[in-house]
């Protein structure tokens, strides 16, 4: 499976021909076979694209992400239907009961906090990592005691300083938000491709959020972005850091006694969560992964 992300960073025209995305610039023309592509990110507003290309991207379940004038992702184009039996899948999703949704959310939060602890250990914050591991063990069904938020306060203050807040207007948050948007796109693709709705979450339920379910299932992968930002952000939110974050699908993690690309693990993790929600597997059988 391809996890290539194509960046369009300068004015051009995009079209489709014989399996290829054709990129026409003033003095140059390039072709990229769509079988090699998982995501196209438009980093400039000066792009003209054909409806034929949009149609082919949707058929092949390739995400198209649009950025604003500051290069931040603000929109995503996804296929309406990702499976032949989408009606049946939606009926299943709408029938999920609160108990199973709360149990899966418990599992998701435990995994997220565990990975946050791993990031803290990686950067030698062992004492705070130990606290987060204890918090992960305390997560209840539905996270009724809000261990996720409590862990986040300790985690971000430890990584980025006591004066850091996630709603600050700063380079760190710009980079984090960019990386999280890329993750969200990856999870959206997996949900849609299986015929389920991104809007109907198991915990996130914002009336104006089109991606509640993806926001739920992406949570354990956020610490991957945090680590990439720590390692690569050096004074400016530039093309290098954007490319690094957008390539998160090719980061290697440990999964099922082997090393896998994050793109593959996201796909398998989403499928496990769906299987648990549909009671095909026990919640405890949702496979874990480990950061390297």
Give the model confidence (pLDDT) of 55-84 as tens digits: 999 999 898 999 888 777 888 888 877 777
Phi, psi for residue 169 in degrees, rounded to 5 = -90, 95
- 202 plus 170 within the same structural domain: yes
CA distance 265 to 253: 8
Mean pLDDT within 244-259? 94
- 184 plus 284 within the same structural domain: yes
Q: What is the pTM of this model?
A: 0.89
- 116 plus 161 within the same structural domain: yes
DSSP state of 211: T
CA distance 292 to 286: 20
- Single residue among 44, 77, 110 that ends a domain in this structure: 77
CA distance 217 to 105: 9
Contacts of 264 (CB under 8 A, 6+ apart): 1, 255
- 226 plus 265 within the same structural domain: yes
Q: Cα dist. 176→26, 187, 257, 288 in Å?
A: 34, 17, 29, 23
* Sequential DSSP letters for 214-279: HHHHTGGGHHHHHHHHHHH--SS--HHHHHHHHTGGG-EEEETTEEEEHHHHHHHHHHHHHHHHTT
- 73 plus 131 within the same structural domain: no
- 136 plus 55 within the same structural domain: no
- 92 plus 70 within the same structural domain: no
- Single residue among 19, 52, 77 that ends a domain in this structure: 77
- 64 plus 200 within the same structural domain: no
Element (H, E) at 64: strand 63-67
Residues spanned by the domain of 213: 86-291
Give the model confidence (pLDDT) of 108-142 as tens digits: 999 999 999 999 999 999 999 999 999 999 999 99
- 191 plus 249 within the same structural domain: yes
- 70 plus 156 within the same structural domain: no
Lowest mean pLDDT among 77-91, 144-158, 224-238, 264-278: 77-91
- 56 plus 143 within the same structural domain: no
- 144 plus 255 within the same structural domain: yes
- Single residue among 77, 110, 125 that ends a domain in this structure: 77
Report the number of distinct structural domains present in the chain: 2
- CATH number for the domain spanning 239: value is 1.20.120.920
CA dihedral 153, 263, 213, 277 (to 10 degrees): -110
- Counting Cα atoms < 13 Å in the Cβ hemisphere of 241 gives 25
Give the model confidence (pLDDT) of 164-181 as tens digits: 999 999 999 999 999 999
Instruction: List the beta bridge partners of residue 190.
Output: none
- CATH number for the domain spanning 21: value is 3.100.10.20
């Amino acid at each position: 499976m391809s996890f290539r992300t194509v960046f369009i960073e300068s004015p051009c025209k995009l079209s489709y021909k014989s399996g290829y995305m054709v990129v026409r610039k003033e003095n140059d023309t390039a072709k990229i076979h769509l079988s090699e592509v998982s995501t196209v990110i438009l980093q400039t507003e000066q792009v003209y694209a054909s409806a034929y290309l949009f149609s082919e991207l949707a058929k092949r379940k390739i995400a198209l992400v649009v950025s604003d004038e500051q290069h931040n992702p603000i929109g995503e184009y996804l296929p309406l239907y990702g499976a032949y039996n989408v009606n049946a899948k939606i009926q299943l999703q709408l029938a999920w009961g609160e108990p199973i949704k709360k149990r899966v959310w418990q599992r998701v939060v435990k995994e997220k906090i565990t990975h946050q602890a791993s990031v803290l250990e990686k950067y030698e914050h062992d004492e705070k990592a130990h606290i987060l591991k204890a918090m992960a063990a305390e997560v209840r069904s539905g996270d009724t005691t809000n261990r996720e938020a409590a862990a986040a306060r300790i985690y971000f203050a430890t990584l980025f300083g006591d004066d850091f807040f996630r709603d600050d207007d700063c380079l760190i948050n710009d980079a984090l938000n960019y990386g999280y948007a890329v993750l969200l796109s990856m999870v959206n693709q997996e949900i849609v491709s299986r015929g389920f709705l991104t809007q109907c979450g198991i915990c996130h339920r914002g009336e104006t959020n089109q991606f509640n379910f993806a926001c739920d299932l992406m949570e354990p992968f956020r610490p991957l972005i945090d680590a990439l930002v720590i390692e690569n952000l050096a004074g400016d939110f530039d093309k290098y850091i954007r490319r690094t974050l957008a390539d998160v699908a090719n980061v290697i993690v440990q999964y099922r006694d082997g090393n896998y690309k994050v793109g593959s693990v996201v796909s398998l993790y989403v499928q496990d969560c769906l299987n648990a929600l549909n009671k095909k597997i026990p919640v405890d059988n949702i496979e874990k992964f480990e950061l390297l």
